Amino acid sequence: MQRRAVAVFVALFLAIAGVAGALTATADSPEIALENPEVDVSQGDSIPVDDESYVVTDISESENDEGQMIISGTLERNFTAEASETWTNGSTVSVGDRDWRVEIAGENATEFTLVEVLDRQAILEADDTAENETVTLDDGEYVAVTDDSGERTLVPVDEYFPAPEERSVATGETLEYNGQTVTVDEVTADGAVLVWETTETETIEVAQQSTVTLGDTDYIAHFPDASTLRMSTDIEAYEAQVAEIDRFDQYNSGLSRVLILSVLSSIMLAGMAFIPSRY
């Protein structure tokens, strides 16, 4: 009698396990699907935003720390920005292949002067008749020059070295600096401000199901495969799909626990049925 009762319960638990297993095996897991996305692109495509565009420079698949394969992408936008640099009064700057000293005269100056900084050492070394170092005496600095007869003469440095070149540059004028054309935007007693346009690159890393802001618009990003990026502004619909997936996972997890508990209960009851009775 005891074994017949156990057999009934074992059959019941196995039936429950069978139903749970069948439901688990046949249930279709919902997936994220962006309907009518505003953006549907592949690597190399452009995404227009206002008067500019972002280029999809990369879509790739990689393995994360948990060993899962994940898809991510990169967007890039080139844009024009204004750069500036201040040349302080008395500083030395390199323009062309020479060094210049910045000189600004007066509190209300509207221009500055570039005064060439002579490479005295190079000039001395290039002159076979001059010594490579100047001579300093009580009354000034000199260059020692030896003529063809061997006579050594001291020449004042102001007479020996050529007069430095000077260039005046006013507000609004341009000059070539570091391979680009710069404009003198402002001149004050402290320095001159130079401005120019430069091209900069904005890079946006896009992760699976991340929020991406392009211009003033927020998008939800989705990679259906390792070569396609889709983005939609309907973030609420995306969140609803995520909630549906969470509910499915909870439902499926519950069925799995029922399956396991039913099988274990059947095994335990079957084992108890063969325990000898003391009566």
pLDDT values of the chain reduced to their tens digit, one per residue, 279 residues: 355 554 544 444 444 444 444 445 454 555 666 678 888 999 999 999 888 899 999 999 888 777 788 999 999 999 999 999 999 999 999 998 899 999 999 888 999 999 999 999 999 999 988 888 889 898 899 999 988 888 888 989 999 999 999 999 999 999 999 989 999 999 999 999 999 999 999 999 999 888 999 988 899 898 888 999 999 888 777 776 666 666 555 645 544 554 455 455 555 555 555 555 554
On whether the CB atoms of residues 142 and 155 are closer than 8 A, the answer is: yes
DSSP characters over 81-130:
EEEEEEEETT-EEEETTEEEEEE--STT-SEEEEEE---HHHHHHH-TTB
Structural domain boundaries enclosing 174: 87-199
Strands 69-88 and 39-42, by their bridges, are unpaired
Do residues 249 and 182 share a domain? no
Question: What tens digit of pLDDT does each residue of 207-236 get?
Answer: 988 899 998 889 989 888 899 999 988 877
Do residues 152 and 253 share a domain? no
Measured distance CA(273)–CA(1) in Å, rounded: 10
Do residues 192 and 248 share a domain? no
Measured distance CA(274)–CA(120) in Å, rounded: 110
Measured distance CA(246)–CA(143) in Å, rounded: 88
Do residues 195 and 249 share a domain? no
Question: What tens digit of pLDDT does each residue of 118-139 get?
Answer: 999 999 999 988 888 889 898 8
DSSP characters over 222-248:
EEEETTEEEEES-HHHHHHHHHHHHHH
Do residues 12 and 107 share a domain? no
User: Residue length, the chain?
Assistant: 279
On whether the CB atoms of residues 45 and 55 are closer than 8 A, the answer is: yes
37 three-state secondary structure: coil
- pLDDT number for residue 5: 53
Does the residue 45 lie in any domain? no
Does the residue 131 lie in any domain? yes
Do residues 118 and 165 share a domain? yes
Domain count across the chain: 2
